[in-house]
Amino acid sequence: MSVKIRLTRRGRKKKAIYDVIVADARAPRDGRFIEKIGTYNPNSNPATINLNDEKALDWIMKGAQPTDTARAILSEKGIMFKKHLQIGVNKGAVTQEQADARFQEWFENKEKQSDAKITTLTEAGNKLAKEKFDAEKKVNEARAASILRKKQAAEAALVAEIVEAGATEEEKALEEEALEAVVEETTTEAVKEEATTEAVKEEATTEAVKEESTTEAVKEETATKETKPAE
């Protein structure tokens, strides 16, 4: 029976995670398997790998063949390098202590590389977050400035409207005062003209009376002279 180390999918759509399993090569991808030896989550950065190193090495040494993706996962965790060292130990090329020392050295270098990668990704993420924050801050400041300008414009328009309304009321009051002054002046002139007319009429009447009195006196004097006997 050919045995393979491969991945089986689980998780929701577009957020898949995978189990690292040992299964019969003839079994379907998501079918029955012999043993689960780890998990692989590609959604995180870097990808998260949880692996049972002892079981993985045991199946590799028994001849289980990993798929390309599974091989990359096993290499990332040092299983393929440990297999190489263990074959050297079995052949007597190196001792177990030397193999363990070499693997420990490799593991420490790998940890440093992983830490450096995580630090780089963290710094990049922090920089990107800061850039996004600064961009959002600028947008918010621009929006606040726009709102302030609109508010000031509205207040200025309201003040102008109030001032215009006050000026209109003042103009109306001035117009009414001017109209009243014109009416008063016209009334005064009419009264003066009427008084003058009455005075003229009165003077004319007085003159007529005087003339009539003079005429009567003349007539009376003439009559007296006519009625007086001659001497």
Q: Which residues contact 71 (CB under 8 A, 6 or more apart)?
A: 80
**More confident: 30 or 97:** 97
N- to C-terminal Cα separation, the chain? 199
Q: Which band of pLDDT confidence, cut at 50, 70 and 90, is reported for residue 224?
A: low
Residue 22 neighbours by CB distance under 10 Å: 22
Q: What is the pLDDT of residue 227?
A: 56
Q: What is the pLDDT of residue 212?
A: 64
pLDDT, tens digit, 9 for 90 and up, residues 123-180: 888 888 888 999 998 999 999 999 988 888 888 888 888 777 766 666 667 777 777 7
Pick the CATH number of 1-80 from 1.10.3720.10, 3.30.70.20, 3.30.1320.10, 3.30.9.10: 3.30.1320.10
- pLDDT tops 60 at residue 226: no
pTM of the complete model beyond 0.85: no
- pLDDT tops 70 at residue 230: no
